[in-house]
Amino acid sequence: MKNAPIIQHYVPQFLIRNFCFGKKKQINVFEKASGKSFVSNTKNIASERNFYNYIDKGETKTLEFMLSEYESKVKPIIDKLLETQSFLSINKIEHQLLSQFIALQLLRTKTQREQLKAISNYCFDNFEKLGFTSPKDQNYENELKLVISNLINKNLEEFSQIIYKKNWFLITNKSNQSFSISDNPITMYNENYNPLIGNIGIEIEGIQIYLPISPKVTVAIYCESLKEKISYFKKIPNYNLVGKTLLGAIEKSSYWDAPEEVITFLNGLQTCFSERYIFSKTGDFSLYVKQIQDNPSLKQGPRSSIL
């Protein structure tokens, strides 16, 4: 294996840099568990030593180079979207690359690994309660990395195609707030409720997927079923003027100038989905402080519930 960087980021630095301020490209950081905030550079956040390195059948491997290659290809695509504010400005290959990037980002984060670890620990603990010897051993952390690597290698294309086929548009922010981003930046929301299978997942009907790409722009990816649900926007005169309505943005693959309450809602999702840190250009973390005061469980990243 070629020498990979020791410090490996699970959120691309180029994305976080879009939220930086000043000539030194610094960013405001809020730690959920402690409620403290500080200023940092992008090198020191959303990263760990050798995060993507693992051993497979005695051979040291890494995901770092593959991830870096995707990042270098996707950065100019995101720059183009920020400039044009329209998905019509990118071609099919670029759109597919962006879909792969989104799928990768869902799988590569610290949160994904912690979710897997929580499920594994639950199973191991119950093995021991039943009198069995827990299969967990000293290679446990490496096994988790190996599972994530296999998940990416086997499912990336399938997951990215599911995402690609949805409705893509941009949400633009002209309010006094700024979009924030976190160490688990892709968030999801679904108004539909299903007590059996849950309502969060890229293939579940009604899913909304969000990725902030600057303090003023968020990528939105919607299930096709939502177009019919918001067809009432057609009653608004000139509903399909660029920027005017959500439905118009979806139909034209362009942007929606969202009201401030939508910006607040999307920022609130970052609190729910982040593992440990939220990043902001402005340093106003009052929303996140209040959310955690109201719901202290948000100090931890999201975990799947196991009955």
Report whether 147 contacts 116 (CB < 8 A).
Answer: yes
Greatest alpha-carbon pair distance for the chain in Å reads 68
The identity of residue 103, as a single letter, is: A
Give the tens place of pLDDT for each residue, 45-85: 999 999 999 999 989 999 999 999 999 999 999 999 999 99
In eight-state DSSP terms, residue 196 is T
Regarding pTM above 0.75, the answer is yes
Give the tens place of pLDDT for each residue, 232-268: 888 888 888 888 899 999 999 999 999 999 999 999 9
- In this structure, the chain runs to a length of 307
Residue 307: pLDDT band with limits 50, 70, 90: very low
83 sits in which H/E element:
helix 64-84
C-alpha to C-alpha distance for 164 and 161, rounded to whole angstroms:
5
- Specify which residues 255 forms β-bridges with: 170
- Specify which residues 55 forms β-bridges with: 60
Report whether 275 contacts 114 (CB < 8 A).
Answer: yes
